[in-house]
């Protein structure tokens, strides 16, 4: 019989590793077992792009090493996929055939890039960017490449576009919808995003998808599109979404688009929690279920899950926020947008320079979300208003003026 509480964590990304650290700091007599199917300790996926652009060395991508786990007494198990979960029996089974009992379990398994499901979509030269392994594969092929096609309308696709143009590749970006981040940006903002891409040397084509990848002599040569074009490509960067890694948990906890949790990050099974990209949680603004794909969210949820796994009763209150450069500009998306719920109203404005855009989202009488491109003045004020949940009594358009906010 075990005397110590045993915490098992599946996935050692930002969420899983933060959870392990928090558990060991606050419950030093417990056992913490941290599984990952990857060979590495925690590394920063956000940094992969900067590594591939030569802005940081590989060692800077890694944020934890093996001695760190030893120092904290975390039983780190790399290259050990968890393949089954028995919630009633409180056990997980690994691909090595071990059955491990737990008292509390965290699912923090993130997602895997959705594959490009077209003829020859699995050819060498069709690239993904989620793991260090993906980055190393890309690093090997970038120097010889001349032409690239990017597929997808979200941040992952932007990563490819930015890397490819940094390497001087002639880059065409296929976006199926009418705009980059089509649920967050309207047509005006989408046109601004296209202009920013074009100024960086990336040509954006909307409304077309890859119909097939053309391969010659085992190598990618071109893509044909659903619009009938043939575009030269040595590399295809596929950024068409993530499929959550939750197969091992099916039938054991409630699953929708991710692993469904309540505000305390507890799943439908009381001793199982979920955090990070894989967790579908009630956002704290209107309570709608959402998936969040950010580093800060994953780490904060990992820490909060740890506190609740130790018996706490905290609820997740962080306002979702994503900040990124976008070619020569920057984009912030905060709070909730039509990506999370479709019944929002919005007001938007592009300023006189045509370079700065903002769109604000309202639910009932409250400000609940915002998109800022370019000038981010007043961002903290908007964030505070979202957090405060107070009724907006004046004209909504007044909030579009950055000077009035600051």
Ligand X SMILES: Cc1cc2nc3c(=O)[nH]c(=O)nc-3n(C[C@H](O)[C@H](O)[C@H](O)COP(=O)(O)OP(=O)(O)OC[C@H]3O[C@@H](n4cnc5c(N)ncnc54)[C@H](O)[C@@H]3O)c2cc1C
Binding site for ligand X (CB under 6 A): 10-16, 35-38, 45-46, 48-49, 81-82, 108-110, 129-130, 155, 159, 245, 248, 276-277, 293-296, 298, 322, 324
Contact call for residues 161 and 175 (beta carbons, < 8 A): no
Q: How far is the CB of 332 from ligand X (least distance, A)?
A: 11
Q: How far is the CB of 55 from ligand X (least distance, A)?
A: 13
For ligand X, give the closer residue by CB, 183 or 219: 183
For ligand X, give the closer residue by CB, 325 or 365: 325
Q: How far apart are CA 94 and CA 84, in angstroms?
A: 7
CA 15 to chain centre: 12
For ligand X, give the closer residue by CB, 12 or 286: 12
For ligand X, give the closer residue by CB, 11 or 369: 11
Q: How far apart are CA 174 and CA 211, in angstroms?
A: 11
For ligand X, give the closer residue by CB, 109 or 225: 109
CA 254 to chain centre: 21
φ, ψ for residue 323, nearest 5 deg: -120, 135
Q: How far is the CB of 77 from ligand X (least distance, A)?
A: 9
Radius of gyration of the chain (CA): 22
Q: How far is the CB of 201 from ligand X (least distance, A)?
A: 20
Nearest of 303, 275, 279 to residue 290 by alpha carbon: 279
Q: How far apart are CA 346 and CA 388, in angstroms?
A: 19
Q: How far is the CB of 264 from ligand X (least distance, A)?
A: 17
For ligand X, give the closer residue by CB, 127 or 222: 127
Structure tokens at 249: 């948990």
- Measured from the Cβ of residue 23, the count of other Cβ atoms closer than 10 Å reads 29
Nearest of 212, 206, 211 to residue 181 by alpha carbon: 206
State which H helix or E strand residue 94 sits in.
strand 91-94
Q: Cα–Cα–Cα angle for 138, 58, 302, nearest 5°?
A: 95
Q: How far is the CB of 292 from ligand X (least distance, A)?
A: 7
Q: How far is the CB of 216 from ligand X (least distance, A)?
A: 29
Contact call for residues 327 and 196 (beta carbons, < 8 A): yes
Q: How far is the CB of 32 from ligand X (least distance, A)?
A: 15
For ligand X, give the closer residue by CB, 98 or 388: 98
Helix (H, G, I), strand (E, B) or coil at 161: helix
For ligand X, give the closer residue by CB, 35 or 273: 35
């Amino acid at each position: 019989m075990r005397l110590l509480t045993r915490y098992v964590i599946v996935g050692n990304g930002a969420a899983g590793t933060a959870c392990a650290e928090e558990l060991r700091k606050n419950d030093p007599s417990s056992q913490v077992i941290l599984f990952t199917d990857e060979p590495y300790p925690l590394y920063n996926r956000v940094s992969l792009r900067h590594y591939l652009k030569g802005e940081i060395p590989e060692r800077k991508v890694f944020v934890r090493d093996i001695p760190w786990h030893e120092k904290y007494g975390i039983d780190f198990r790399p290259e050990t996929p968890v393949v089954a979960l028995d919630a009633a029996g409180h056990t997980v089974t690994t691909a090595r055939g071990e059955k491990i009992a737990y008292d509390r379990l965290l699912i923090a398994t993130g997602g895997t890039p959705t594959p490009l499901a077209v003829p020859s979509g699995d050819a060498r030269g069709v690239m993904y960017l989620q793991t260090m392994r993906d980055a190393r594969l890309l690093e090997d092929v970038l120097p010889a490449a001349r032409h690239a096609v990017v597929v997808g309308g979200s941040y992952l696709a932007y990563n490819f576009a930015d890397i490819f143009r940094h390497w001087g590749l002639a880059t065409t970006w296929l976006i199926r919808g009418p705009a980059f981040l089509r649920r967050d940006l309207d047509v005006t903002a989408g046109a601004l995003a296209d202009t920013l891409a074009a100024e960086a040397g990336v040509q954006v084509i909307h409304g077309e998808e890859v119909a097939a990848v053309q391969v010659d002599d085992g190598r990618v040569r071109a893509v044909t599109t659903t619009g009938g074009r043939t575009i030269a490509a040595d590399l295809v960067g596929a950024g068409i979404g993530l499929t959550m890694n939750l197969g091992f948990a099916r039938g054991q906890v409630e699953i929708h688009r991710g692993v469904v949790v309540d505000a305390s990050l507890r799943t439908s099974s009381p001793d199982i929690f979920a955090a990070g990209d894989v967790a579908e949680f009630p956002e704290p603004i209107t309570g709608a279920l959402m998936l969040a794909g950010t580093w800060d969210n994953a780490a904060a949820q990992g820490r909060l899950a740890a506190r609740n796994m130790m018996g706490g009763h905290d609820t997740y209150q962080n306002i979702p926020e994503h900040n990124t450069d976008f070619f020569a500009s920057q984009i912030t998306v905060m709070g909730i947008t039509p990506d999370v719920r479709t019944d929002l109203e919005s007001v938007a404005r592009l300023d006189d320079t045509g370079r700065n855009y903002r769109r604000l989202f309202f639910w009932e009488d409250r400000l609940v979300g915002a998109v800022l491109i370019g000038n981010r003045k007043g961002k903290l004020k908007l964030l505070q208003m979202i957090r405060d949940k107070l009724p907006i009594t004046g004209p909504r358009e007044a909030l579009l003026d950055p000077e009035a906010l600051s």
